[in-house]
Structures are given as structure tokens and as C-alpha cells.
Amino acid sequence: MSTLQQRQQARQLRHRLLLSAPAMAMLGVFLLVPLGIMLLVSVLQGGDYGGVKWGEYSFEAYVSFFYERDLDDSLVFNTDYLQIFQRSLWLSVLTTAGCLLIGFPTALYLALQDEKRRNLLLFLVTVPFWTNLLVRVYAWILLLRNGGLVDSGLGLFGFDGSLGILYSDAAVIVGLLYSFLPFMVLPIYTSLEKLDWRLVEAAFDLGANRRKALQRVIVPLAMPGIVAGTLLVFIPSLGNYIIPELLGGGKSLMIGNLIQLQFGTAHNWPLGAALAFVLLALVLLAMLSYNLRFRQPAMEGHA
Amino acid sequence: MEFGEPGQGMKALDDVSLEIRANEFFTLLGPSGCGKTTLLRLIAGFEQPTSGVIRLYGEAMQDLPPFRRPVNTVFQSYALFPHMTVAQNIAFGLEMRGLGRAEIDRTVSAMLELVKLPDVGRRRADQLSGGQQQRIALARALANRPKVLLLDESLSALDLKLRKEMQIELKRLQADTGITFIFVTHDQEEALTMSDRIAVMSKGRILQIGTPSAIYEAPVNRTVADFIGETNFLTGEGTPEGLRLADGQCLALNEPASGPLTLAVRPERIRLSDQGNLEGRLEDIVYLGTDTIYLLEVAGQSGFRVRRQNDEGAGNGLHPGARVRIQVPAAALRVLAE
């Protein structure tokens, strides 16, 4: 390799570093530094009235995630926090599944409309974003509470009034489904919109009925959108705070509420930070398993 | 059979009626927008006719969905499934019919042999060249052993050399499988090379159905004559002696006709000859290797073509501007319906 080429490559490298510097700085200042602070907080001794005692390191927070300290200072296995994590996971899985079940047909319907109608319908999908989430969640409180529209509506079908839907897991799922549905519809719609419908015609031509064409051609080709939508719904709903707070009452806690509780009333910052890191680990694990499951086949194709 | 968008005056297909024989290589030929692809999509079942029936071996098909018709299509874009391997593509139709794994595998390798690509089964469809994709699309459609194979402009994406190869290949496949092929093209040469019969279409109507030679030698009207091959048109007045041209020259006809007439004559049927029956002025000479085209002005009409093979003594020292005589045999003249 000539020196000229070497010099050119060095210059290119310098340019690339320079161009990516703002993005790097952004990530550093707004992601890595706060995460570093949180990590530090999680391994410090908690202060008596919130805050932390700087310089006094302790893994107490991570220990207390699994164990409770008895009166005689022995550790007893404690599933309280694990149960909340488990419920959060379960509610998020149900929410994601529900969003997929409603979102995929919706996206398919949107993609099959002619362009004018499609734009109108897409606009309608995004309309809820125009109002503050808090206002919309309060509207759900009015709908779901005893004697509210849903409750009395179900009463017409022979259910006893005052079902107590509000402040239950069901209410939380309804709220999560409602607020995250557009995040499922839009990416799936994007991948379906790009789909070459002649491939679907080819499937029909080769003897596939509607169900088979959906299963063998449309869904596999929409997979990137489905994966993106699933991640966009699952991850934020796992850490969601406002919906379980308002629709779950105090009864149906999720991880987000637990973390808020530690930084707030419980004055236990290290535990809050530790819980946040466990949540982060969970999310990374979920993304990793998704990568292993869905990225690999695509990579094989280009091998 | 008719097909049109409801509420629109234009019909994409208007009063189209044709009968295609079993084991025939039948071509729908016409310029783009003539309705040939629409006709193909009606047969495949992707569109429903506004009125009329489609029968296959006597059975009405127009109300069946595409997946219930014993008809398969080779799409213009090939439409191979990009998320499947070549073998999975070919196996798709067989799986839809619920065949056993062993039989599917056997058929897939037989199909790959048939299209002379035995080793690409494990590759992904998008890793193949255009010509290979074309063959796989054929193999996929033929694997189902359809009663009719529809080919929609299937060769138009290939380069000339590959196209010539595939033309011969398609003929061979049709003969080997005994399946009826319905081929759509706008390329008249392709149609002439491959077809048993051709239907020439224009503006949603069928103008003429016949063998390649019938269509070429005896076009029914000016549109057909103009679309298939090179044609010279002579217009004039029919008299008892023959056709009187604008400049007074008279051309003898086998069957005398009267009134204003248009005649068609193929450039290769005309000879340059001192004893010829028409006179014209040579405008240009175009050398084409095997042939030479002489462009003449005849009876005030420019661009009259005479095509001669370049054998010995051809051309012998003619120059543009010279007055030449040409021999137009009466047997080569076709009176066209307007």
C-alpha cells in the first residue's frame, strides 16, 4: 500500500470521527453519565432521609432485592420484589400479545386501502398523540370505574354492576394496550406497505388460500415490522409508571412504580437504582433473545 | 367476455372471445395497454370479468378464486419469495396441495433438472441472476402440473442473447410437458418464433387469431400489418386494371376491386428489377449485414422499403437519388380492410 493511500485512509478516519463526535458526545452526556451515576448510587449506602452516603460502598441494595434482613440480622429469602417483577413481565407480555393481535389486522387493513383513505386512517391512528397521555388515562378512569360506561355497559349483559375493573390488573392491561397500540400498528404498517403484493398473488396462484398466504408469505415478510413493534411495546410497558399508578391504584404495582416508591416515600435510593439496573438487565436480555431468534436467519441468507 | 372498471366508459377488454386448444403454445400479442395482461389476469383469477364466462375443459372458472384454478402463472417480475430458498419456492405449490415430503423433494429436484439448474436448490432466490430467476419461476409454476401455464411478458427483463435462449427453452418445455402455454408479449418477433397460434390485440379487442405465418402473410387490417414485421402500405383507387396510385401508376391485382383501397406488401417480397411494374426514386440505402434495406419514394409516398438479401451482385452500384424500378408480385399484395 502506498503512502498516499495510507494518508487518504487516515484522513477518512479523522473525518468519520469528527462527524460522529456530536452523536458520541450526546450519548456520553445523556446516557453514559446518568447510567454511571445510577450504577454508583446502587452500590452505595443509603442515607437516612434519602440520598446516599458518598464513599460508603455496600451491595445491600442488590441483596435486599432477594432477601429480607430478619430481626436477628439473618437473611431470609423474600419474593416480594420478584413477584412485582414477575407481574410486570406478565402484564407486559399480555399487553404486547394484545397489541399484536389488534395491531396486525389493523395494519394489514390500512395497507390494503387506497392511498387517500390510507392517509386519513393513518392520521386517525396518530390522533391520540395530540392529547396529553395523562388526560387520556384519566378518561379511562371515568370509563372503567364502578358505575362508569364500561361497568354499566357490561351490566346490560347480565353482569352485576360494580365489577371493580378499575384498580385491577385488567385495568392496567387495558391502559397499556390503549397507549401502546399505535407503536405496534405503525411499524407493522410500514413493513406491509413496502410488501410486494405480487408475491401474495403468486402465493394465491400456487394454490395458497387466504390463511396460508398470510401465514407463509405476508407474516414472514412483515417480520421486521412485527419485531420492531413488539420491542417498541414490550420495553416501555415493562418500565411503565403512569398507567399502573393511575389505573392500578396502589394494588397493581409494576416495576416503574416500585422504583418511584424507593426514590420517593421509602427514601431508599440505592434500592431504587438497583431495581432500575435489574430492569435494564431484563430489557437487554429480552432484546438479546430477540436478536438471536430473528436476526440470525436473515444473516444466514447473505452468508 | 368483457372487463371494465365500473363507472368508467373505457373497457379494458371489450367483447373478447377466443378458444385456446389443449397443448397449444398460444400467444397474446399487442402493444402495451392493449388488454393482453388483463386477459391473462382474468384467466389466472386475479380479476373478475364484468360479464362473460371463462371455461377450462368445459368447466366455468370465472367464479373460482385463483387458488382453486388449475392454472399457474410465471410473473413478469418472477415474484419469487425472497424469504425462501429456491427449493422452498418450488415446493410451495406442492405443499399447498398437501403432498408428502418425499414426493415434494422428488418433484423439486425433477423441476430443477427440467430447467437445467440442478445445483441451486439451497440458494436464496435473490442470489440468482435474472435468467436463473426466470427458470426458477418457470419451475415453480410447472411443479404444480397446471392444465394451463400463463406467462406474462416473462422474457422481457432478459438481455437479447438470454432471451433467444429462453425462447427455444420455453418451446422445449412446452413440448416436453404437454401443458398449454398462454404467453403474453409485445414483442412480435418473439411471438412469431414460439407460438402455434397468435392473437393480435389492440385497445381491448382481438383483431386477428391465426398461425404465425397466417398472421404475417395475411394480416386482416392495417393495425395488424403494421404491428407484425415491416410493411409497406400502398393506397389508391381500385380500377378494372388494378390499383391506380396517386401519381397515375397502375399496379395489377389478382382480384380486381373498386373504391379507395389500402394494400400491404412485405419489403422482402419486392425485387429491384429493370423490368419492374412500379417506378420510384431511391432515397437511402441501409446496410444490415445479412440484408440491405432500400428506402424508396413511390407515388409521392416516402419510406417505401425494399429488403434484399446480400447475395452476389446485390445493390450493384445504386446511389440515393437514382430512379429505380421495382417488381411487386401480385401474389404478395394484400388488400386490407380499413
Q: C-alpha cell of B205? A: 379487442
B124 and B171 fall within a common domain: yes
Give the helix ranges, DSSP H, for A161-295.
Answer: 169-193, 197-205, 210-213, 219-221, 223-238, 242-247, 255-263, 269-290
Cβ-defined contact of A207 to B65 (cutoff 8 Å) = no
State the nearest Cα–Cα gap between B97 and chain A, in angstroms. Answer: 7
B201 and B247 fall within a common domain: no
Q: A80-302 belongs to which CATH class?
A: mainly alpha
Cβ-defined contact of B96 to A208 (cutoff 8 Å) = yes
Residue A254 CB neighbours (<10 A): 26
B300 and B158 fall within a common domain: no
Tens digit of pLDDT per residue, chain B (338 long)?
555 544 344 566 777 888 888 889 999 999 888 888 889 999 999 988 888 888 888 888 888 999 999 999 999 889 999 999 999 999 999 999 999 999 999 999 999 998 888 888 899 988 898 889 989 999 999 999 999 999 998 888 788 888 888 888 888 889 888 899 999 999 888 899 899 999 999 888 899 999 999 999 888 888 898 888 888 998 888 888 888 888 888 888 887 778 888 888 999 999 888 888 888 899 998 888 888 889 999 888 888 999 988 876 655 678 888 888 898 888 888 888 76
If you search the block for the grid coordinates 399487553, which residue do you land on?
Answer: A95
> What domain range is B244 assigned to?
230-335
B241 and B306 fall within a common domain: yes
Q: C-alpha cell of A195? A: 410488501
B139 and B272 fall within a common domain: no
Residue B326 CA, chain-centre distance (Å), reads 31
Which residues of chain A lie closer than 8 angstroms to B144, CB-CB?
206-207
Using CA coordinates, name the residue in chain A closest to B145: A206
- CATH number of the domain that residue B246 is part of: 2.40.50.140
CA distances from A185 to A192, A230, B18 (A): 10, 10, 47
Q: What ipTM score was computed for the predicted complex, to two decimals?
A: 0.81
- Give the domain-ending residue among B199, B221, B243: B221
Quote the number of domains for chain B. Answer: 2
Which residues of chain A lie closer than 8 angstroms to B97, CB-CB?
207
B213 and B280 fall within a common domain: no
- CATH number of the domain that residue B128 is part of: 3.40.50.300
B128 and B250 fall within a common domain: no
Whether the CB of A70 is below 8 Å from some CB of chain B: the reply is: no
